[in-house]
Amino acid sequence: MKRILVGIKRVVDYNVRIRIKPDGSGVLTEGVKMSVNPFDEIALEEALRIKERGAAEEVVVVTVGPADCQAQLRTCLAMGADRALHVQSDTALEPLVTARVLRALTEREQPFLVLLGKQAIDDDNGQTGQMLAALWDRPQATFASKLDIADGKAQVTREIDAGLETLEVDLPAVVTVDLRLNEPRYVKLPDIMKAKKKPLETLTLESLGVVARAQLKTLRFEPPAQRQKGVRVKDAAELIAALKQKGLL
Amino acid sequence: MSHNILIVAEHDGSTLSVATAKCVACAATVPDAHITIAVCAADASAVAAQAAALAGVERVLTLEHPLHAHPLAAAIAPQIAALAGPYSHVFGPSSTFGKDLMPRIAALLDTAQVSDIMAVESATRFRRPIYAGNAIITVEVLEGAKVVGTVRTASYQAAGAGGRAAIESADPGVEPPAHTRFVSVSTAGGDRPDLQTAAKVLSGGRALGSAESFQILYRLADKLGAAVGASRAAVDAGYAPNELQVGQTGKIIAPELYIAIGISGAIQHLTGIKDARTIVAINKDPEAPIFEVADIGLVGDLFEIVPQIEQLIG
Ligand SMILES: Cc1cc2nc3c(=O)[nH]c(=O)nc-3n(C[C@H](O)[C@H](O)[C@H](O)COP(=O)(O)OP(=O)(O)OC[C@H]3O[C@@H](n4cnc5c(N)ncnc54)[C@H](O)[C@@H]3O)c2cc1C
Ligand SMILES: Nc1ncnc2c1ncn2[C@@H]1O[C@H](COP(=O)(O)O)[C@@H](O)[C@H]1O
């Protein structure tokens, strides 16, 4: 079966202004709106479009995390994924461990394409896709803004600092997506009902042979430095005077 | 204890990127650092000479291969990983080049990566932003583990000149894979100052309304000698090319002067300008969040104000 595997992460919604716990031990997440990482929605949307074009037969979404993540998997099923895999882990895992989980799943699921977000907007690591590609010894194309699949190859346009770069990679490959790849569809109510009947399988790290090794320890969370309060000027002339005074003009 | 640090050079085949000089500055803050730069290129001579001239660099290794004519993570990573044995740290810039490459190296070395290092507290302890810069964490890498990191270039001043490092060619004995092929690259950029290194940046948002209106920013930028940037909304709408995007998913910049014009100031945008020395905001909405971070705010219609500024500075 021609299959696409999509990795999704449950994160604090991008509209939430996060707050740090007073003792600096973490970020307050209780009662905070959680969502599918925005990049991952784009990854899923792309997978669905590839399937709708007839270039794939099945879209499988996977997340690694605590039981709560199943809500986000259901959202993905409602968007159109065929089945979901929940790999249980109550502690947050480092990208290298998540990459190992995904690597084990590539053995099990044999996808021709793995689509991930370019970064998760909570930890802003931007590592998992590249690490998976290394462990799998397969090509990677990161920050994709266009993706074409034909003849066992993918042409990927990437958003890089210099502009747009196009790569050709042999499949299977790992592609991480950027914001301009597509606009994810909205979930409709009947789809949410249908999604309840779609298969959602729960797996453990042990069953995939992955050890939740931690190599990093977070010692402290702090708010960023605040900027000093600024001044208001009333027109262009005052603005220019203020800039001249600062030696900026 | 001395620390051998390997930095992967970013370059375009002829010029070493200033991002690499910023990695050197970061590496130099690791206690007792001995810095080596690795240059992967089809012909490394010009770039290696520039790397060798950076203050604080002791050694430059060249890895030449036709496949390195364009930087491909899949080709570079196994070669750097093969050389990494004697090094305690492997650093690259937090540019799209480094973000693409470094995690691939880390995985081959079976080690975690510290992304976006903004400060070095010890050889194993680093500060980095998370949640689009709304929190700063201090992370400790387990004793004995290799540190692979990307350097948040906006947090560092480029290392200066004055180095006289030895240049050696290195052969890691790994043939790069052929499964990934460069096809093309397109750059809209003309001869305006580079967004990432410019001292002054003028950015436009959704309010500009069209690619044609965006021209008024280019005109003013040319008068000010400034680079032009854009919000995501402006890029998405096609008013400006993607490489001008500033923010969490665009460029993180630290100019002396940042002028935001018709930009609301979403947190994802503000992430990109946290280190700007002076922020100016021009927006017709007095409640726009951009004013919370602006050093100088001007409430009004940009289509009136921008031409006025242009006229006044003559
Ligand atoms: C995961 C994620 C990542 C993102 N990454 C980025 C990023 O890297 N960079 C980024 O910029 N955004 C990013 N965004 C988008 C961000 O959330 C905002 O949507 C975006 O920054 C808004 O752009 P804007 O300020 O141009 O548009 P708007 O928010 O629409 O603001 C337009 C502003 O123009 C003002 N205005 C209108 N007319 C005039 C006029 N005539 N004169 C003066 N002012 C006027 C309005 O008052 C308003 O404040 C990201 C979003 C997500 C979810
Ligand atoms: N816990 C997770 N479960 C499934 N996929 C994940 C997980 N964490 C990260 N990913 C995927 O990897 C991408 C990059 O994440 P990161 O490397 O953490 O920034 C995300 O956009 C997801 O597609």
**Count of Cβ atoms closer than 10 Å to residue A191 Cβ:** 15
pLDDT for residue B14: 97
pLDDT bin (cut points 50, 70, 90) of residue B166 is very high
Q: Whose CA is nearest to atom 29 of ligand 1?
A: B264
* Chosen domain end from B148, B169, B190: B169
Say yes or no: CB of residue B114 within 6 Å of ligand 1.
no
pLDDT for residue B270: 96
Identify the closest residue of chain B to A234 by CA–CA distance. B298
Say whether A28 sits in a helix, a strand or coil. Answer: coil
Q: What percent of chain B has pLDDT over 90?
A: 96
Say yes or no: CB of residue A68 within 6 Å of ligand 2.
no
Domain identity same for B309 and B263 = yes
Say whether B12 sits in a helix, a strand or coil. Answer: coil
Domain identity same for B13 and B143 = yes
Output the six-digit token pair for A113. Answer: 């394409």
pLDDT for residue B269: 97
pTM over 0.95: yes
* Ligand approaching nearest to the C-alpha of B133: 1
CB-based contact B97 A161, cutoff 8 Å: yes
CB-based contact B115 A234, cutoff 8 Å: no
Output the six-digit token pair for B194. Answer: 């580079």
pLDDT for residue B66: 95
Interface confidence (ipTM) of the complex: 0.97
Domain identity same for B150 and B292 = no
Of A178, A182, A59, A66, nearest in space to A126 by CA: A178
Identify the closest residue of chain B to A134 by CA–CA distance. B104
Give the atom of ligand 2 at the shortest distance from the alpha carbon of A128.
17
CB-based contact A220 B107, cutoff 8 Å: no
pLDDT for residue B189: 66
pLDDT bin (cut points 50, 70, 90) of residue B314 is confident
Highest mean pLDDT among A16-20, A25-29, A135-139: A135-139
User: For residue B147, is it within any domain?
Assistant: yes
User: For residue B287, is it within any domain?
Assistant: yes
* Ligand approaching nearest to the C-alpha of A72: 2
User: For residue B189, is it within any domain?
Assistant: no
Q: Whose CA is nearest to atom 47 of ligand 1?
A: B285
Residue B12: give its domain's CATH number: 3.40.50.620
Interval B110-127: pLDDT, tens: 999 999 999 999 999 999
Rounded to an integer, the average pLDDT of B9-29 is 97
Contact criterion met (CB below 8 Å) for B7 and B20: yes
Domain identity same for B237 and B283 = yes
Output the six-digit token pair for A80. Answer: 């159109």
Interval B267-296: pLDDT, tens: 999 999 999 999 999 999 999 999 999 999
State the sign of the Cα–Cα–Cα–Cα dihedral A170, A173, A179, A181. Answer: positive
Domain that includes residue B300, residue range: 200-313
Number of domains in chain B: 2
Chain B partners within 8 Å of A218 (Cβ) = 137-140
B204 burial via Cβ count (<10 Å: 0-12, 13-18, 19+): buried
Radius of gyration of chain B measured on its C-alpha atoms: 21
Chain A partners within 8 Å of B181 (Cβ) = 167-169
The alpha carbon of residue A185 and the mean position of all alpha carbons in its chain are separated, in whole angstroms, by 16
Residue B240: give its domain's CATH number: 3.40.50.1220
Domain identity same for B11 and B104 = yes
User: For residue B214, is it within any domain?
Assistant: yes
pLDDT for residue A163: 94
pLDDT bin (cut points 50, 70, 90) of residue B191 is confident
Domain identity same for B271 and B218 = yes
Q: How many Å lie between the centroid of ligand 2 and the Cα of residue A95? A: 7
Interval A101-157: pLDDT, tens: 999 999 999 999 999 999 999 999 999 999 999 999 999 999 999 999 999 999 999
User: For residue B182, is it within any domain?
Assistant: no
Say whether residue A239 is in contact with chain B using an 8 A CB cutoff: yes
Interval B206-241: pLDDT, tens: 999 999 999 999 999 999 999 999 999 999 999 999
| Average per-residue pLDDT for chain A | 97
User: For residue B183, is it within any domain?
Assistant: no
Domain identity same for B214 and B155 = no
What b/e string do you get for B122-160 counting C-beta neighbours within 10 Å, with b at 16 or more?
Answer: ebbbbbbbbbbbbbbbbbbbeeeebbbbbbbbbbbebbe
User: For residue B286, is it within any domain?
Assistant: yes
A151 burial via Cβ count (<10 Å: 0-12, 13-18, 19+): exposed
Of B160, B137, B149, nearest in space to B24 by CA: B160
pLDDT for residue B63: 98
User: For residue B211, is it within any domain?
Assistant: yes
Say whether residue A151 is in contact with chain B using an 8 A CB cutoff: no
Q: Report how many Cβ contacts below 8 Å link chain A to chain B.
A: 248
CB-based contact B137 A246, cutoff 8 Å: no
Domain identity same for B12 and B144 = yes
* Chosen domain end from B169, B187, B217: B169
Strand pairing class (A58-65; A3-7): parallel
Domain identity same for B146 and B218 = no
Domain identity same for B143 and B35 = yes
Say yes or no: CB of residue B284 within 6 Å of ligand 1.
yes
**Count of Cβ atoms closer than 10 Å to residue A150 Cβ:** 9
Pick B185's closest partner by Cβ from A17, A138, A162: A162
| Average per-residue pLDDT for chain B | 96
